[in-house]
Structure 1
Amino acid sequence: MITRQALRNAGALLLILAPEALFARSNSVTAGLSMSYDYNDREYEAVSDDLTIDGVTAARIAEEDDTYSRVVVRPLIYLVSKSKLDQFGLRAAPAVRYDLEDSDTDVDALFALSGWRFITKSWMVKSSDTFVRSDHNTTGTEEAADGEENSTPELSPDAGRKRFWRNTFNIASDHIYGRDQKAILGFDYVVLRNDDSGESSYNDYDMYQFAVKNDYRFNAYWDTKADLKVVRGEFDNNDRLTAAAEPDPSLVDSSGDLMEYHADAILTNRFFRPNNISLSYNYIGTAYDETSRNDGDIHQSRLTWQRDFLERLSARLGAGVSYEKTEEQKANWGGNGIAEILYTMERSSFRLSVEKRYDVDNFSGTEERGFIDVWDASLGFGHQLLEDVKIDAKVTYLYEDRQDRAANTSADDATALEEYNKNYFITGVGLHYSFWQDYSAGINYTFTRLNSERIGEDYDDHRLLLTISWETEVLNW
């Protein structure tokens, strides 16, 4: 006779085995190991301590030159488990950095969790969490837990090789309610903390972002996309207050907490295929808690034409009107636009892009806040030299017009803004070689030059990265 306990045990076992019985899972474990030589040399333009401009002593004095030479060993393990209804991923890639200059050792980290699950056929929930400890500003910015781009703000390269840790958590709900029709609710939480303290270190902050997105297709010719975001930023400048070079610590903004509001909408017409015409609108609003910063609004509209001329050639051309208004300042009317060409061949690719736009910079880790008037031009090229050898190169010119609280002004004076520009020239080249199926080697060189109207910020930066790595799937069931 079947007892109640046996039934309970059978029921528990059925609950455990049901997912495996109903939905076959695929599991894999990938392991790897890499060794790198990371060399970085930064030279600042020399300035005099008593340099004056218009009778005011410069508040910003150049940093000391910095030479960075490390050997890096990084193991990797990547676990993926998936079925028709869900997927789970775990990536762990810690690293040990040995300083050849100071005979010192640092430990880096890259840990990522990601997963998604279909609740119904049209409703999916996904989440990810990525933890990074590093001393390079781009580490972990483009690499999300599941290999997709995440929403983590890129840190400024101006601070140099400063150690930090950052954790990015994301959760989102995707609901498909029709053909090419989708609604997304999302939340991001980003924490940035310094391992280094001092005036030139990154600003600690907590960033909370709530997002709503909607894609809707009216018919075969018309579709629209809308994106709304509300961002809360909470900053901690205590370390910078302690190490501030200014004679009066009150000149360093002790808070900087803010709200950001973003709205994007685009209407696209595909009636004249292969010509696509779109009209877009972008709004950015910033409201600071403290009076030491100036609130502001940006409105941008753009009409864009896009066409695929051939299977391998596409072009985009757009232009529009921009309006920027910062509190206690005159309004600025201007233009925005984009011109882009992308050409791909069997073994090569070529991309040329020039864009003019307004943007906002509040989460790059520096004390700089507010709106930016940007010119961004880039030229990229990639070529497959041999079956296992490829080369890529890129040249970027970035011009930024900025406004920030002027040096030697009271933190309560929100009307005294300093206008200045920054010019970045960045060029990079890389050579990559794959061999023995699971092995690869690469060499990458990047040169960055900054010319700034602010005293003591100009620098030349050279980075050389040599890497050899092994990565293979070790288990699959």
Structure 2
Amino acid sequence: MSNHSKVIEDYIMITRQALRNAGALLLILAPEALFARSNSVTAGLSMSYDINDREYEEVSDDLAIDGVTVARIAEDDTYSRVVVRPLVSLVSKSKVDQFGLHAAPAVKYDLEDSDTDVDALFALSGWRAISKRWMVRSSDTFIRSDHYTSGTDQAADGEENSPELSPDAGRKRFWRNTFNVDSEHIYGREQKVILGFDYVVLRNDDSGENSYNDYDMYQFAVKNEHRFNTYWGTKADLKVVRGEFDNDDRLTAAAEPDPSSVDPSGDLMEYHADVILINRSFRPNNISLSYNYIGTTYDETSRNDGDIHQSRLTWQRDFLKRLSAGLGAGISYEKTEEQKANWGGNGIAEILYAMERSSFRLSVEKRYDVDNFSGTEERGFIDVWDASLGFGHQLFEDVKVDAKVTYLYEDRQDRAANASDDDATTLEEYNKNYFITGVGLYYSFRQDYSAGINYTFTRLNSERIGEDYDDHRLLLTISWETEVFNW
């Protein structure tokens, strides 16, 4: 098939998916025609040059574990593409509802292989006030790409409910659709309850052992905020998550398929509970006591079920209009099936300082978390240290710069790759260290135009053989965006 035919076929597939999403969302949130409406259409175009170079640490050919020679998990990758992305957005709103449509497909030309790919970003969102105290919201976001994090320009309404994908797979193509609907009822001053449902679908466009792990994720959530009086309040967030995984592509793509090396199912249930008690008696100090529970049960006995309990006492204060700080500490308990229980601590320390033209943020957090939906074969609980330093400065009226440094340390335990059938629940303990730094320079000119250059460096050091890498990404973008119609 020629590149031109493939581009047309990809575009048709993406368009059909977007139309299906639009139809489903319109049935939930059809704009109310009886009220006076304000409508606007925005159009734009951007051109980017995306360079990405990843180098994996060399692995000795004679290195062996249990008599088996270790092979490199992934090959070095050099990525160089020119991206053209048109943009169209429609917003229609009245006093009782709002509806939005955002479309930003993209054509990518590979300078290394002289190949063409089609990316997509289609987002629908809307809300309607059923009464003064009752509101219904919904959104649907479809993304097709080879690079995604929540911090990129590809993030859209509704995507904040999607798990962030692991960067370890590299520039692997995928598509993901995120559907969300929730109902919010306000029953008093600073008192409300929200019922929500999320459905996330992740699929690969690349096959192979290093591609993302296909899954369907269903999430039901109940949230409540309640203000008892001037001083006391609570917040509660309860979630039940169902994950269904498909590993057939990994078995098919392997040179010598070995079903025992791939989890036959991986299907699971997650249970989350977050409860916070807030006290405002000592203003400008705010004191809160929180409890967090995470439980995971797997359908297959080859995975180990587990529970996490975390409590934390947190203090927050606004010292000045521009300076705020927070400090918290607590106890954590983690128990994985057939393993010893782990007692430990958790905590957070953060400071935010905002000046007229600059901002500064420092944060350090220790916590337990769970990783089941990052798109990799890794599953289970993580003991995390997360430290970040961010800085932004408005150099001139139209020029700004930002920079960020992040260090992420993860203690993980996962099913051992060489475990026998009689000992399938044996866990391998290992750690991963991420060092990420990025800097960006942005320039706005002639009202509707902007340009930017962004560089990101990521280094992974892992105790697992063959996973270490250095990743360099440079992104240059120039874009135009303006409102073309308003009625």
Q: TM-score, normalised by structure 1?
A: 0.93
Q: Distance in 2 between matches of 1:5 and 1:117?
A: 24
Q: Relative to 1, partners in 2 of residues 1:72 and 1:12: Cα closer, same or farther, differing over 3 Å?
A: closer
| Deviation (angstroms), 1:11 | 27
Q: Distance in 2 between matches of 1:4 and 1:406?
A: 42
Q: Relative to 1, partners in 2 of residues 1:50 and 1:120: Cα closer, same or farther, differing over 3 Å?
A: same
Out of 320, 334, 337, the residue aligned to residue 324 of structure 1 is 334
| Deviation (angstroms), 1:49 | 3.5
Please identify, of 412-421 and 175-184, the stretch whose mean Cα deviation from structure 2 is larger. 412-421
Q: Relative to 1, partners in 2 of residues 1:199 and 1:276: Cα closer, same or farther, differing over 3 Å?
A: same
Q: Relative to 1, partners in 2 of residues 1:376 and 1:39: Cα closer, same or farther, differing over 3 Å?
A: same
Out of 37, 42, 54, the residue aligned to residue 30 of structure 1 is 42
Please identify, of 234-243 and 70-79, the stretch whose mean Cα deviation from structure 2 is larger. 234-243
Q: Deviations over 1:435-469 (max 9, x none)?
A: 00000000000000000000000000000000000
Q: Relative to 1, partners in 2 of residues 1:19 and 1:300: Cα closer, same or farther, differing over 3 Å?
A: closer
| Deviation (angstroms), 1:7 | 36
Q: Relative to 1, partners in 2 of residues 1:48 and 1:14: Cα closer, same or farther, differing over 3 Å?
A: closer
| Deviation (angstroms), 1:475 | 0.3
| Deviation (angstroms), 1:150 | 3.5
| Deviation (angstroms), 1:380 | 0.2
Q: Distance in 1 between matches of 2:18 and 2:468?
A: 76
Q: Is the 8 A contact 1:381 1:392 kept in 2?
A: yes
Q: Distance in 2 between matches of 1:193 and 1:439?
A: 35
Q: Is the 8 A contact 2:251 2:258 kept in 1?
A: no
Q: Is the 8 A contact 2:21 2:140 kept in 1?
A: no
Q: Deviations over 1:240-298 (max 9, x none)?
A: 12234777431211210000000000000000000000000000000000011100000
Q: Is the 8 A contact 1:59 1:408 kept in 2?
A: no
Q: Distance in 2 between matches of 1:246 and 1:23?
A: 63
Q: Is the 8 A contact 2:140 2:177 kept in 1?
A: yes
Aligned length: 475
Q: Is the 8 A contact 1:38 1:464 kept in 2?
A: yes
Q: Distance in 2 between matches of 1:197 and 1:6?
A: 24
Q: Is the 8 A contact 2:29 2:127 kept in 1?
A: no
Q: Deviations over 1:169-205 (max 9, x none)?
A: 0000000000000100000000000000000000000
Q: Deviations over 1:92-115 (max 9, x none)?
A: 000000000000000000001111
Question: Residue 423 of structure 1 aligns to a residue in which SS?
Answer: strand
Q: Is the 8 A contact 2:392 2:402 kept in 1?
A: yes
Q: Relative to 1, partners in 2 of residues 1:102 and 1:277: Cα closer, same or farther, differing over 3 Å?
A: same
| Deviation (angstroms), 1:140 | 8.4
Q: Relative to 1, partners in 2 of residues 1:268 and 1:198: Cα closer, same or farther, differing over 3 Å?
A: same
Q: Relative to 1, partners in 2 of residues 1:331 and 1:3: Cα closer, same or farther, differing over 3 Å?
A: closer
Q: Distance in 2 between matches of 1:458 and 1:2?
A: 35
| Deviation (angstroms), 1:322 | 0.1
Question: Residue 239 of structure 1 aligns to a residue in which SS?
Answer: helix
Q: Is the 8 A contact 1:446 1:463 kept in 2?
A: yes
Q: Distance in 2 between matches of 1:231 and 1:473?
A: 40
Q: Distance in 1 between matches of 2:262 and 2:418?
A: 10
Q: Is the 8 A contact 2:279 2:287 kept in 1?
A: yes
Q: Is the 8 A contact 1:59 1:246 kept in 2?
A: no
| Deviation (angstroms), 1:22 | 5.5
Q: Relative to 1, partners in 2 of residues 1:453 and 1:87: Cα closer, same or farther, differing over 3 Å?
A: same
Q: Deviations over 1:80-127 (max 9, x none)?
A: 000010000000000000000000000000001111001111000010
Residue 146 of structure 1 is matched in structure 2 by: 157
Give the alignment of 1:287-306 within 5 angstroms.
Answer: 287-306=297-316
Q: Is the 8 A contact 1:251 1:411 kept in 2?
A: no
Q: Is the 8 A contact 2:141 2:157 kept in 1?
A: no
Q: What residue ranges of structure 2 are gaps of 5+ in the alignment?
A: 1-12
* Percent sequence identity over aligned pairs: 90
| Deviation (angstroms), 1:239 | 1.1
Q: Distance in 1 between matches of 2:17 and 2:76?
A: 74
Larger C-alpha radius of gyration, 1 or 2? Answer: 1
Q: TM-score, normalised by structure 2?
A: 0.91
Q: Relative to 1, partners in 2 of residues 1:116 and 1:327: Cα closer, same or farther, differing over 3 Å?
A: same
Q: Distance in 2 between matches of 1:6 and 1:409?
A: 44
Q: Is the 8 A contact 1:192 1:205 kept in 2?
A: yes
Q: Relative to 1, partners in 2 of residues 1:44 and 1:144: Cα closer, same or farther, differing over 3 Å?
A: closer
Q: Is the 8 A contact 2:59 2:71 kept in 1?
A: no
Q: Relative to 1, partners in 2 of residues 1:52 and 1:444: Cα closer, same or farther, differing over 3 Å?
A: same
Q: Cα RMSD between the aligned structures?
A: 6.6
Q: Relative to 1, partners in 2 of residues 1:300 and 1:246: Cα closer, same or farther, differing over 3 Å?
A: farther
Q: Is the 8 A contact 1:89 1:146 kept in 2?
A: no
Q: Relative to 1, partners in 2 of residues 1:11 and 1:194: Cα closer, same or farther, differing over 3 Å?
A: closer
Q: Is the 8 A contact 2:29 2:138 kept in 1?
A: no
